[in-house]
Chain A
Amino acid sequence: MTATSSSQIGTPMAGAPRLSVRNITKSFGPHQVLRGISLDAQDGDVISLLGASGSGKSTFLRCINMLEIADAGEIVVDGEKIAMTQRGGRTVPADRRQVDRMRSELGMVFQSFNLWSHMTILQNIIEGPVHVLKRPRAECIEEAEALLEKVGIADKRHAYPAHLSGGQQQRAAIARSLAMKPKVMLFDEPTSALDPELVGEVLRVMRALAEEGMTMLVVTHEMSFARTVSNRVIFMKSGEIDCDGAPDTVFTDGASPAFRQFIGNFGG
């Protein structure tokens, strides 16, 4: 879990974690949401983040790609540390462009899909590669078609998000993130806004990604996904990591009392 010391900065090293997070803290007003979270994700790791609502798991995920700015701590993507500085008593990124570049390397899938509603599915997918990565349009379209095929909505390429079911929208959103060829994929409760019968199609896509070796961090309430797809489970409680380990260990004998109570609420 914490095999490598993660403070090396600069060129990516063989064996260095894809993503390394050190001692992230975050408060909203007087309420401390994250109390020093650290995590290393190696290449191909699929890490499920579990926890009751309010435990800070989504905030933690959003701190990683700086949609929330952590009060303290460091984030290292593929050996490159995100530079922070103090301004007006607050911690802010030192270099906007570095943050933009980091974000383009971290795929983010949101709970409510967040597709751009005025663009077709195909336009949604090529938007980042064409305009952020400045890659040739024709090439991006070709790749986008392949991604749509992969997530099973090739026939929807010219549809608008509002014309798709939730499951299809979420699969389109996953394809949009993949089009950026991310180093790590972050999933923020990707199936929580879906009708129960649509959850399976999204989980299948995520399972396929995991099998391809994509490094993934997944905030989820899907216990079977956490148990069978991920190779590591982290249970968060009150802004801290309560238990952390392989699913078999955590779900059986390694569980803390809090985790046992948590999964008890799921009827399992």
Chain B
Amino acid sequence: MDLDFMASTMLTLVAALPMTLALFSLSVIFGGLLALLVVWMRVGGNPVARGFAKGYIFVFRGSPLLIQMFLVFYGLGQFGFIRYSFLWPALREPFVCAVLSLSLCTAGYTAEIFRFGLRSIPAREIEAARAVGMSGFLLTRRILAPIAFRNALPAYSTEVMMMVKSTALASLVTVWEVTGVAQRLIAQTYRTMEVFLCAAAIYLILNFLILQLLALLEYRLSPHRRTAPLFPAAQQ
């Protein structure tokens, strides 16, 4: 293996890392916010909203992300009302299309993860909150959301890692992130193995770091699940 070539490839690919990080972080943020809206509709009392949320989750979980991305990138421009709207200058940008479709897709998965988080809240803890006079937004903010988020975090961590990898698809709608740049390098050098190994290494390191952060968050949020050496157990 040619180490000099590997090193220069690494440098070229790392230069594209900010784009990958931008795709990732924006879509996790927007997808997360959208997921909150979807899960609120999904578990709320309004049957129309619930039906819409169910449909949304099914469509975005049930179809390939790549096709969703192509539909957004190639498809939206065919609608006159979009093409001639004030949104078009943004929506014709590949980056915007990629973030949009990544967000829409992860929102479907994340909504479902949050819903399971909500369902696993012990009913008695909700009852205790009602009994002190909590309801509505206060109940959600103080009791439901904190418990649901803790319960959902392991599954949500997996979804976040999937998002790092899914950003690679953006290369197919001409966004020059790590995978896109790797393919361009291969087209120039025909050295598939070295370039893709470098790209894989970048994703692995990135995911390793993200996983550490999420594990730290999970650790911080779950002192109640650990045994407590500081407190002598069950004394009268």
Contact = CB atoms under 8 A, between A and B. Distances in A.
A117 to B, nearest CB: 5
B233 interface: yes
B127 A114 contact: yes
Contacts of A114: 124-125, 127-128, 131
A132 B132 contact: yes
Interface stretch (A23-31, A48-56, A95-103, A208-216): A95-103
B236 A117 contact: no
Interface string B216-227: 000001111101
A59 to B, nearest CB: 14
A198 B235 CA distance: 10
Given A118-B150, A162-B225, A165-B235, A132 B130 contact: no
Nearest to A97: B135
A201 interface: yes
Interface string A47-81: 00000000000000000010100000000000000
B122 interface: yes
B231 to A, nearest CB: 5
B228 A163 contact: yes
Interface string A160-172: 1111110110000
B228 to A, nearest CB: 4
Interface residues of B, number: 32
Nearest to A165: B234
A207 B230 CA distance: 31
Contacts of B235: 165
Interface stretch (A7-15, A104-112, A222-230): A104-112
A110 B130 contact: no
A138 to B, nearest CB: 19
Nearest to B229: A163
Interface string B97-141: 000000000000000000000000010110111111111101000
Given A67-B130, A116-B128, A132 B138 contact: yes
- Interface residue tally on A, bucketed by range: 35 or more
Contacts of A142: none
A127 interface: yes
A104 B128 contact: no
A35 interface: no
Nearest to A106: B131
A159 B125 CA distance: 17
Residue from A114, A197, A198 whose CB has the most chain B CB atoms within 10 Å: A114
B191 interface: no
Contact of B224 (A117, A131, A168, A173): A117
B124 A112 contact: yes
A132 B125 contact: no
A102 B125 CA distance: 19
Residue from B122, B131, B136, B138 whose CB has the most chain A CB atoms within 10 Å: B131
Contacts, number: 93
B122 A67 contact: no
A156 interface: yes
A127 B125 CA distance: 13
Given A100-B134, A131-B134, A110 B124 contact: yes
Contacts of B228: 159-160, 163
A197 B235 CA distance: 11
B133 A132 contact: yes
Contacts of A65: 131
B12 to A, nearest CB: 46
Contact of B132 (A112, A119, A128, A162): A128
Given A162-B225, A163-B228, A127 B127 contact: no
A175 interface: no
A141 B143 CA distance: 19
A184 interface: no
B146 interface: yes
Interface of B: 122, 124-125, 127-136, 138, 142-143, 146-147, 150, 221-225, 227-228, 230-231, 233-236
Interface of A: 65, 67, 96, 99-104, 106, 108, 110, 112, 114-119, 127-128, 131-132, 156, 159-165, 167-168, 173, 176-177, 180, 197-198, 201
Sorted nearest first, the 6 A-B pairs with minimum C-beta distance are A104-B133, A160-B224, A114-B128, A128-B132, A165-B234, A108-B131
23 contacts: A67-B127, A103-B132, A106-B131, A108-B132, A110-B124, A110-B128, A110-B131, A114-B125, A114-B131, A116-B125, A116-B129, A117-B224, A118-B221, A128-B133, A128-B134, A132-B132, A132-B133, A156-B231, A163-B228, A164-B231, A165-B234, A165-B236, A168-B234
